[in-house]
Amino acid sequence: MRKSLYYLFGLMLMSCIVLGQPGNPSNPTPIDGGLVLLALAGLALGREKLKQRA
């Protein structure tokens, strides 16, 4: 459990450092339904894995 918390903290810290777009783009790329559905699927899979462990 502790190892996964370190990974989660590292990913959160990395997301502050890494930028997906250059500053002030003239044509920004929106984050729309596809990425949101992928994130929700990942959350659902993680939840099921945690339920199987307990």
- Binned average pLDDT, 10 residues per bin, the chain of 54 residues: 80 66 65 77 91 84
Q: Tell me what pLDDT residue 19 has.
A: 59
Phi/psi class of residue 32: alpha, beta or left (left: φ > 0; alpha: ψ in -120 to 50)? beta
Which residue do the tokens 């997301």 mark? 15
- What is the pTM (predicted TM-score) of this model? 0.43
Q: Tell me what pLDDT residue 18 has.
A: 58
- Amino acid identity of residue 15, one-letter, is S
Q: Is 47 helix (H, G, I), strand (E, B) or coil?
A: helix
